Amino acid sequence: MKYTKATNYALHIMAYFVKQEGKDNLSLQPLASHMKISPTYLSKILTQLVKADLIQSTPGVNGGYSLRKPKTEISFYDVIQAIEGSGALFTCEMDENRACHIEKVMRDAEERMVNHLKEKRIYDIV
């Protein structure tokens, strides 16, 4: 299993937001420079984080982005789900008409991973 580069960036972006909480809104261009990614790509990631209600966007001269949820409540899973979406990582394609034992093992592993990621907060590593 491999997460996308966007998820990697999103986790780092959210860690940066947690560190910066309480300061001025973060604007796109300085954030892109700090993260060393293009403003266009960053904008797409930020849009997904806004849609997931993890951050908020404030328009205007003093606008920018800031945390929407309390920093102590944002889990790794929240960020990953915002970028990757939800859904099973594995589906059994071979055993259509009967129980797929491989799928049971994979779903159990996925459930354990999801629970672990839900428990881990971005705030804890910052």
The structure tokens 């780092």 sit at 12
Predicted TM-score of the model (pTM): 0.87
The 10s digit of each residue's pLDDT in 67-87 is 999 999 999 999 999 999 987
The structure tokens 């930020």 sit at 46
pLDDT value of residue 104: 86
pLDDT value of residue 22: 72
Residues of the domain holding 98: 5-125
> Helix, strand, or coil here: 53?
coil
Overall domain count for the chain: 1
Of 23, 22, 3, the closest CA to residue 12 belongs to 3
Average pLDDT for consecutive 10-residue bins of the chain (126 residues)?
A: 90 94 84 94 97 93 89 96 87 73 88 95 94
Query: What's the CATH code of the domain at 107?
Result: 1.10.10.10
Tally the C-alpha atoms within 13 A of residue 97's C-alpha that lie toward its C-beta.
Answer: 0
Whether the CB-CB separation of 66 and 17 falls below 8 Å is answered with yes
Tally the C-alpha atoms within 13 A of residue 75's C-alpha that lie toward its C-beta.
Answer: 11
Q: CA 79, CA 8: separation in Å to the nearest integer?
A: 10
